[in-house]
Structure 1
Amino acid sequence: MCTGSFRAFRKVMDKYRITVLTERLIRLEYSEDGLFNDEKTLSVFNRNFPVTAYIERDRDGLLEIETEALVLRYDRKPFTSQGLNITLKENGAVWNYGKLYAGGDNLFGTARTLDFTDGLVMLDDGIFSRSGYAVLDDSTTPLLVDGEVIERKSECRDIYFFGFGDDFYGGLREFYTLTGEVPMLPRYALGNWWSKFERYSEQSYLEMLKRFEEENVPLSVAVLDMDWHLTDVDPKYGNGWTGFTWNEELFPDYGRFLKTLHEKGLAVTLNLHPADGIRAFEAMYAEAARRVGIDPASQEAISFDLTDKAFRNAYFKDTLLPYEKKGVDFWWIDWQQGTKMADSDIDPLWLLNHYHFEDQKKRGKRAMIFSRFAGIGSHRYPVGFSGDTVSSWKSLHLQPFFTFTSSNAGYGWWSHDIGGHMQGDKDLERLVRWIQFGVFSPIMRLHSSNSPFFIKEPSRLEQPYRGIIDRFMRLRHRMIPYLYTMNHRSYAEGEPLIRPVYYEYPKDEKAYSVGEEYFFGSELLVGAICEKEDSVLKMSSVRCFIPDGRYYDIFTGRIYEKSKLRKLYRSIETIPVLIKSGGIVPLAGENDLDAFKNPEELEILIGAGASGSFTIYEDDGITEGYRDGKSVRTDISVDWDEAGKKMTVRISGAQGELSLIPTKRAFTLKIYGIDSVDGYEADKKSHTVKIALGKCDISDAQEIVIENVVLASNDWKKEVFDVIEYAWCELRYKEEVNHILNTCDDKDQFDEKLSQLDIPEIIKDAIREVY
């Protein structure tokens, strides 16, 4: 038995090099000139892994390398499908060089953009497949040498083989070790963003914000599209798409405007289309021109070329930095102008994302950008802007699937144009469903084109849509303690916020069959509703996999038991969001909605019927201090005693940099799935118990013992009655269902008679959901 690592085992023989990085991750290189790359690339940041055990053999003239997970066979010649293959021990699947996936069974990754799409798009491959393997071709990815992005000229084949099987979390950890960590987002990024392609002025923008304040709907990010800068320019300079000079007609004192936005608790981002470079009409032109060696008197445009260090200095130091000093927090890089930079084959999107992010880091900020996906490795530069979609049900229907498959490319922080960007029609039901998905997606950003008929401000909508949107947008800010903890887990443990259901249930085929359902962090299972309501039922549905155990809908209290695959039906008021038994979800208090501050009040949602634990993570939300451990952790545990019908909830004293959180904090427990307990009143409709613990010092531990706990079951007769009462169907259908409901003693008997009724099948299916 031999052992090897990146340094200790790298099989090099003139023209080929094979590196065992882990037992499931192999690097394969072939170069006719015998030259190989040891530099970082924009996709691969690290190849120095711990020692991995392997066996090396010569078998019938073939090189054979065996690890605990796979067997590689190679004829030592230029890579071909006949001469290079890898077999997974777990399932016997065989990969041959040049062959991607058997039967197209890759589980998909993501795409560069959703621009101008209306529904289905072609997705790139991810790092997982049903066969258990995937490959990354890094042969042409630009190099990263001493901070400079350099075009890769070598003809070397450079392939990474991933043999992760269905160990999705383990595979992601190895992937992030190879390609770089996911940095933490600032806390404010997890709140509600307001964006619209509209010609705002300082006055009209502040008036719009006032309407949100009066509606008590919180925002955390103010987005200004391209009309912040000059757009009506002399034709001799070209068009006004690119611009870096504030439009003083609209914003006479932009410093005052930015200061006001910060005082309102908003971070600020501005839109950039930098393709035309820095032209002579720009306010900073003279200084930038001198920096790149151009005589300002010539009025020669400064060409956009991020491969040129002098231009980068002019772009970041002379053009953008002064605005950042005045209050711009990050930049929206809206690149749509091609995939080649100047005379190179380097994608400008890579350069923009990399250099923008690194520029912020150099100044000590917790870096964040807002830009499109450039390829594998883009997770190092969050947040992703998915682009300008058509406002349609088809576009909405794609986005949950698109978002959770992106985790298979390690890309967990997509931001979509919630509500759609363009075209479409007025459909407030669709807008509500899109916002409900947005609240349970990585980034919640409302956006649309500049049509006056694209209205997404809640205060300008009619009821009931207005009230529903208000409630969900407030909920988004209440969820920030949970979201921020998941933000840290993404960085520290490589666990994305949005997870395909099969990550948790890889052996269950049902988990692979749902396209609008996903785990939202570790504790919540979400079904995004992406279809119009049924005209008879007056509800919409989403096909969901319910795993084994007990799950509770956090909005309705409905209880789900036993594994099943079925449609879940909801009125416009809610979508299915389920907490598991033993699940723990921290929410901020109802009035604690500031995205920049750690809350003074926390409501802890708990699923009864199992033990569980959760650690709330907090820090200052804005600096790089989290990398040095400057944070606070509060442990919450639930011990479930089935025999004694007792549950014990413990909240530890906060540990860490306590100055980062309020000195006192009030906790309220909201426990789901309860019929009755000693000492507290249960809500029979939602099957919940609320227990207020009051305000105490954050360093004090708390323990509450809840005794004589009786777990609830759905009141199936009442819920069946509610379904038929709510439906807009013929009265005789309601009477027939109600008759058997009143004459049947148990669910089996009722279901048998329900099957015999001549009523719409969708009503029968909705009724069966409740039992």
Structure 2
Amino acid sequence: MFPYPMSTRPVADPAAVVRGERYRITVLTEGLVRLEYAEDGVFEDRASTFALNRCLPVPDFRVLETGGHLEIVTSRFRLTYDRGPFTTSGLSLAVRGGVTAYHSVWRYGQEAETLGGTARTLDNADGPVPLEPGVVSRTGFAVLDDSRSFLFEPDGWVAADNVGRTDLYVFAYGRDHAAALRAFHAVSGPAPVLPRYALGNWWSRYHDYTAESYLALMARFRADGIPFSVGVLDMDWHLVDIDPQHGSGWTGYTWNRELFPNPAKFLGRLHDAGLRVSLNVHPADGVRPFEEAYPAMSAALGRDPALGEPIAFDVTDRQFLAAYLEVLHRGLEADGVDFWWLDWQSGPHSRVAGIDPLWMLNHFHYLDNGRDGRRALTFSRYAGPGSHRYPVGFSGDTVVSWASLAFQPHFTATAANIGYGWWSHDIGGHFFGVRDDELATRWVQFGTFSPILRLHSMKNPFLVKEPWSFPPHVGAVMTAFLRLRHRLVPYLHTMNHRAAGEGLPLVLPMYYRDASCEDAYEVPHQYQFGTELVVAAITAPSDRRTGLGRVKAWLPPGGWVDVLTDMVYRGDRTMYLHRDLATIPVLARAGAIVPLDGAAVPGNDPVNPAHVELLVVVGADGEFELLEDDDAASLARTLIRFEQGPGTLTVGPVRGAAEAVPAVRTWTLTLPALDLAADAVATVDGAPVHAEVRQEGTRAAITVAQVSAAATLRIALGPDPRLRANDVAQRLFTLLNRAQIEYLTKTRVLDAATSEHSLAVRLSTLHALDLDEALLSAVVEVMTADVSP
């Protein structure tokens, strides 16, 4: 029944409320307080676009009366208020815990200096754009202003009559950034679990494909072993060349049957190939008389289609919105459309002041897409706090440039500060710029380790993203990373559930790892990628002479291994990392366990694999619970443990929805940067089984086939396995051999770096050679990577 009711609990427990005639203060958590002021003494208890759930367990707090002032004290803050209209002098909140020497006091009207949130769009961006505030900061407080948000009625419809009221949420979590995010989600609702298919590669291009050319392209990808789980059709799927009397062809709901003569058959063939399909819609121009659905829309709205009057887009009209979804979109979904790309580009204005059409489209499309109990998905721009409930985000049309790429890792990570974890960028950029094969490659590498990987470009015959359109060595790298993305889906889907259950997005800034470390705030191109990996994207051109890209990274304490190169690092320092075009730094800590699809060339549909590869970095105990499902609510859980002392990996029996995973599996344990004796022992439920042991360069791999999902697999490596030391001489030789420098300089550098002298003497000798800074930096990384600081 339209509109769709929501699960909300917007009325706070009265025990959490301190109220006067014109003010109301609600202590939502020990670090989050809602502050309301209204001259008429009427306060808002309906859900807002941000706040769905204010009925939380009442935290411990004290209310004190001091000389006419009201004080509210929790374990995290002390609020002082003079009971009058909110003013800078009359309302303040001090964050407890000594966050800073004197900056941790918020006063009403003061703009909080947060660590940033995100932005509505990157349309036309060629580098950084201003970010809206987030809910975490270095001063310990952040403020979310909900005064102008529109509201939800109990039946799920909307209202915008909260004008003239002050409604603030003050987050006072010090530098406990994760706790601030948990409080945000407690009030605003969790991020939903994405359908598993959304985590694979998406193909998108603004191009007038035919059904035959699109299917041929997908067949070529399949033949080349390049998987895609989502096919996106930009606006040319519908009629665009229309009679000028109707306006532009930007908006459309009628298949172009010259290009797609049988839409249902076309979409069925894509489904048969393992892809889901999204169509682009620009709804702002409404429904014009030339649309196939115009008679049905007119009937649904009680209009006479013979008059030929256009039906204006009015997202604030219940009847129109019901017909918009039920007639226009469900009719096309019957052909096989899985979800919609809502390309709203017409600003925040509607016929009702305060109602943002983008919000309405995101909200109701998402609910409608999940109407049959399936996992819902939309693809649209960010509309403000609370938008995390409607993934996936379309970040907009960016310029093809290094500046655009350089901003995207930071932009993606800081979005976590407002709970927005599922950004999808136009990987490779959308328009303008110049052809740069290195830039295109680096963008694909970042895309592989971003929330959603979607290749996209504008309608230009020269602006292409197919790997075979690039020189062979470039195309090979792109292909490898696109395959890797699908291999990562078991890990990504586990993080997908973690984001929903724990409120921590897949991509997090490094300061979530250690908020007290200054260095963690100074690495904008580096981020956490789930619980096990740290990625440092290379977003600037390689040095011409070394052929290496460079990125500054902070390595937290402990041992680390780059799982793409097996380079070993000792952490607790900031350093420059260098990579050739084939790779970027992807680091896993000692004890990390990363599950992968074991197929070298995965298929399009990223189903739960029959062969699972586990990347395990030795050096510390580790644990990982692999979460799998069949896009239903029930979960299959497989607990995986590594114990450093005995050197034992244990894969426990599946618990929960065992029917969601293969009954029998092959498991491969891959150990980066490890020398392994050939006497590793494997058992299944205590009985010895055959294990195939392979040494592949700097890593070892152990494979055990035909293991029941109900059994316990144990692989014993031997006591206290260790990471191997980097082969400094060989790595330096490779670096210098590639470098476009004088041959004499190469030998002098290698001799100095590999001499018998102490590290300090070797480094000072290298500095005295007056080398180019880029070369010296790369050489020093190799020499010192696995040396304890």
Q: TM-score, normalised by structure 1?
A: 0.96
Cα distance in 2, alignment partners of residues 540 and 40 from structure 1? 49
Cα distance in 2, alignment partners of residues 169 and 673 from structure 1? 32
1:753 corresponding residue in structure 2: 765
2:85 corresponding residue in structure 1: 78
1:716 corresponding residue in structure 2: 728
1:606 maps onto 2:613 in alignment: no
Mapping of 1:10-49 within 5 angstroms? 10-49=17-56
Cα distance in 1, alignment partners of residues 445 and 167 from structure 2? 43
1:586 corresponding residue in structure 2: 595
Pair 1:684–1:713, CA change in 2 (3 A): farther
1:737 maps onto 2:749 in alignment: yes
Cα distance in 1, alignment partners of residues 353 and 58 from structure 2? 38
Question: SS of the counterpart of 2:477?
Answer: helix
Pair 1:343–1:448, CA change in 2 (3 A): same
The one-letter code matched in structure 1 to 2:655 is: Q
Report Cα offsets for 1:316-340 as digits up to 9, x if no partner: 1111101112210000000001211
Give the Å deviation of 1:360.
1.8
The one-letter code matched in structure 1 to 2:780 is: R
Question: SS of the counterpart of 1:140?
Answer: coil
The one-letter code matched in structure 2 to 1:391 is: V
What are the ranges of 5 or more consecutive residues in structure 1 without an aligned counterpart? none
1:123 corresponding residue in structure 2: 131
Task: Indicate if the aligned counterparts of 2:486 and 2:606 stay in contact, CA closer than 8 A.
Answer: no
Pair 1:710–1:80, CA change in 2 (3 A): closer
Pair 1:290–1:541, CA change in 2 (3 A): same
Give the Å deviation of 1:91.
2.0
Mapping of 1:546-561 within 5 angstroms? 546-561=555-570
2:283 corresponding residue in structure 1: 274
2:655 corresponding residue in structure 1: 655
1:180 corresponding residue in structure 2: 189
Task: Indicate if the aligned counterparts of 2:148 and 2:354 stay in contact, CA closer than 8 A.
Answer: no
Give the Å deviation of 1:165.
1.4
Task: Indicate if the aligned counterparts of 1:172 and 1:494 stay in contact, CA closer than 8 A.
Answer: yes
1:707 corresponding residue in structure 2: 718
1:108 maps onto 2:112 in alignment: no
Pair 1:639–1:697, CA change in 2 (3 A): same
Cα distance in 2, alignment partners of residues 151 and 495 from structure 1? 31
The one-letter code matched in structure 2 to 1:727 is: A
The one-letter code matched in structure 2 to 1:694 is: A
Give the Å deviation of 1:366.
1.1
Cα distance in 1, alignment partners of residues 571 and 651 from structure 2? 30
Task: Indicate if the aligned counterparts of 1:675 and 1:684 stay in contact, CA closer than 8 A.
Answer: no
Task: Indicate if the aligned counterparts of 2:260 and 2:266 stay in contact, CA closer than 8 A.
Answer: yes
Question: Does 559-568 or 405-414 show the bigger shift?
Answer: 559-568
Cα distance in 1, alignment partners of residues 512 and 557 from structure 2? 15
Pair 1:544–1:237, CA change in 2 (3 A): same
Mapping of 1:169-318 within 5 angstroms? 169-318=178-327
Cα distance in 1, alignment partners of residues 295 and 119 from structure 2? 39
Cα distance in 2, alignment partners of residues 361 and 674 from structure 1? 46
The one-letter code matched in structure 2 to 1:618 is: E
Report Cα offsets for 1:524-572 as digits up to 9, x if no partner: 0001000101011110111100111000011110000031111100000
1:372 corresponding residue in structure 2: 381
Name the count of aligned residue pairs: 754
Pair 1:336–1:748, CA change in 2 (3 A): same
The one-letter code matched in structure 2 to 1:674 is: L
2:740 corresponding residue in structure 1: 728
2:166 corresponding residue in structure 1: 157
2:639 corresponding residue in structure 1: 635
Task: Indicate if the aligned counterparts of 1:480 and 1:595 stay in contact, CA closer than 8 A.
Answer: no
Pair 1:113–1:539, CA change in 2 (3 A): same
Cα distance in 1, alignment partners of residues 60 and 161 from structure 2? 32
1:695 corresponding residue in structure 2: 706
Cα distance in 2, alignment partners of residues 127 and 337 from structure 1? 28
Question: Does 355-364 or 198-207 show the bigger shift?
Answer: 355-364
Task: Indicate if the aligned counterparts of 1:108 and 1:406 stay in contact, CA closer than 8 A.
Answer: yes
Cα root mean square deviation, aligned:
1.4
What are the ranges of 5 or more consecutive residues in structure 2 without an aligned counterpart? 1-10, 681-692, 785-789
Give the Å deviation of 1:594.
4.1
Give the Å deviation of 1:356.
0.5
Question: SS of the counterpart of 1:721?
Answer: helix
Cα distance in 1, alignment partners of residues 189 and 592 from structure 2? 30
Question: SS of the counterpart of 1:711?
Answer: coil
Give the Å deviation of 1:682.
7.7
Question: SS of the counterpart of 1:195?
Answer: strand
Pair 1:360–1:741, CA change in 2 (3 A): closer
1:141 corresponding residue in structure 2: 149
Cα distance in 2, alignment partners of residues 339 and 520 from structure 1? 33
Report Cα offsets for 1:54-90 as digits up to 9, x if no partner: 1111112110111111100001111011100000111
Residue 766 of structure 1, aligned match among 771, 778, 782? 778
The one-letter code matched in structure 1 to 2:635 is: S
Task: Indicate if the aligned counterparts of 2:96 and 2:174 stay in contact, CA closer than 8 A.
Answer: no
Cα distance in 2, alignment partners of residues 279 and 496 from structure 1? 41
Task: Indicate if the aligned counterparts of 1:64 and 1:74 stay in contact, CA closer than 8 A.
Answer: yes
Residue 351 of structure 1, aligned match among 340, 348, 360? 360
Task: Indicate if the aligned counterparts of 1:140 and 1:152 stay in contact, CA closer than 8 A.
Answer: no
Question: Does 739-748 or 717-726 show the bigger shift?
Answer: 739-748
Task: Indicate if the aligned counterparts of 2:199 and 2:492 stay in contact, CA closer than 8 A.
Answer: yes
Task: Indicate if the aligned counterparts of 1:592 and 1:599 stay in contact, CA closer than 8 A.
Answer: no
Pair 1:46–1:611, CA change in 2 (3 A): same
Task: Indicate if the aligned counterparts of 1:677 and 1:710 stay in contact, CA closer than 8 A.
Answer: no
Question: SS of the counterpart of 1:674?
Answer: coil
Pair 1:512–1:741, CA change in 2 (3 A): closer
1:449 corresponding residue in structure 2: 458
Cα distance in 2, alignment partners of residues 133 and 723 from structure 1? 47
Question: SS of the counterpart of 1:8?
Answer: helix
Give the Å deviation of 1:152.
2.8
Task: Indicate if the aligned counterparts of 1:231 and 1:239 stay in contact, CA closer than 8 A.
Answer: yes
Q: Segments of 4+ in structure 1 off by > 4 A?
A: 680-685
Task: Indicate if the aligned counterparts of 1:676 and 1:710 stay in contact, CA closer than 8 A.
Answer: no
Question: Does 358-367 or 380-389 show the bigger shift?
Answer: 358-367
1:338 maps onto 2:347 in alignment: yes
The one-letter code matched in structure 2 to 1:640 is: Q
Cα distance in 2, alignment partners of residues 196 and 22 from structure 1? 46
Question: SS of the counterpart of 1:326?
Answer: coil
Report Cα offsets for 1:154-188 as digits up to 9, x if no partner: 31100000011121222111110100110011111
Give the Å deviation of 1:228.
0.5
Cα distance in 2, alignment partners of residues 684 and 356 from structure 1? 49
Q: TM-score, normalised by structure 2?
A: 0.94
Residue 397 of structure 2, aligned match among 388, 392, 405? 388
Task: Indicate if the aligned counterparts of 1:43 and 1:377 stay in contact, CA closer than 8 A.
Answer: yes
Question: Does 147-156 or 251-260 show the bigger shift?
Answer: 147-156
Cα distance in 2, alignment partners of residues 478 and 682 from structure 1? 20
Cα distance in 1, alignment partners of residues 169 and 162 from structure 2? 19
User: Share of identical aligned residues, percent?
Assistant: 44
Give the Å deviation of 1:407.
0.2
Give the Å deviation of 1:593.
3.4
Cα distance in 2, alignment partners of residues 749 and 676 from structure 1? 34
The one-letter code matched in structure 2 to 1:483 is: L
Report Cα offsets for 1:639-693 as digits up to 9, x if no partner: 111xxxx31110001111211111110000011232344626785852x221112
Question: SS of the counterpart of 1:728?
Answer: coil
Report Cα offsets for 1:466-507 as digits up to 9, x if no partner: 100010000000000000000000111111000111101111
Task: Indicate if the aligned counterparts of 1:678 and 1:707 stay in contact, CA closer than 8 A.
Answer: no
